[in-house]
A = this chain, B = another copy of it.
Amino acid sequence: MEIYKGKKKQYFMEQHSIAHLFSFPVEEFIEVREYKRDEWIIQEGMRPDFLFYVIGGKAKIYITHQNGKVSLINFINANEYIGEMELLNDVYYTKGIQASTKTICFALPIHRYRGQLLEDAKFLRELTKFLSVKASVMAAKYSQSLAFPLENRLADFILQTADEGVYKEKHVAVCDYLGVSYRHLLHVLTQFCEKGYMQKDGRVYHIKDYASLHALADVLGNR
């Protein structure tokens, strides 16, 4: 992890100003941090001392279960908060947050700002919206995971992550994300190829039949 200083810090604070999110100045004690791919921004079980606001990159929320299984609960993208649970709740089991790409974020020291933040309607209003969306998304994922087999959820995921008709996510990450075994994921991918929806080329897959994939994904009803 690198903490930006001087001009570099100034640059990011100007380029990605978050002044509009607060009704008081937060510049004084803010840090601009860069985490490398795979670095842990928050360790599972360890309360963070900062409230983070992501301005670039992508991170992953993980939780480890007692049976050793690891769930990738969700991704965090630019313009989203990290550590807001700990800011709000005195008791909370902290999940692990890992940078999935190089990730740049602002870090607000909680001990300095907590009181003011919890009195700031502007901040709270935006955070409330963010959390309401987060809760809805989790509810949707939860009910979909119970109501539909991998086939549908994978089709949706492929369409969401494919870039110019090419799907090339890492299988291991997708397993964690969709909550299925490696073996089963490969199985369903093979089926998609056999049915002509995709074509495997080395390590990547080319989408050949968008219509069929869409048909599978649409029944999830992600609105």
Contact = CB atoms under 8 A, between A and B. Distances in A.
Given A135-B138, A136-B92, A63 B124 contact: no
Contact of A142 (B66, B69, B128, B142): B142
Nearest to A143: B71
A89 interface: yes
Contacts of A124: 121, 124-125, 128
A85 interface: yes
A182 interface: no
A91 B101 CA distance: 30
Interface residues of A, number: 50
B147 A88 contact: no
Copy total for this chain = 2
A71 B146 contact: yes
A180 to B, nearest CB: 8
A30 interface: no
A191 interface: no
Most B CB atoms within 10 A — which of A63, A121, A145?
A: A121
A142 B131 contact: no
A37 B71 CA distance: 37
Contacts of A67: 147-148, 219
A200 interface: no
A168 B19 CA distance: 54
Interface of A: 61, 63, 65-67, 69, 71, 73-74, 84-85, 88-89, 92-93, 95, 118-121, 124-125, 127-129, 131-136, 138-148, 178-180, 218-221, 223
Given A118-B121, A120-B121, A147-B179, 16 more contacts: A63-B143, A65-B143, A65-B144, A66-B218, A71-B142, A73-B142, A85-B132, A85-B135, A85-B136, A88-B129, A92-B136, A93-B223, A131-B131, A135-B138, A143-B179, A146-B180
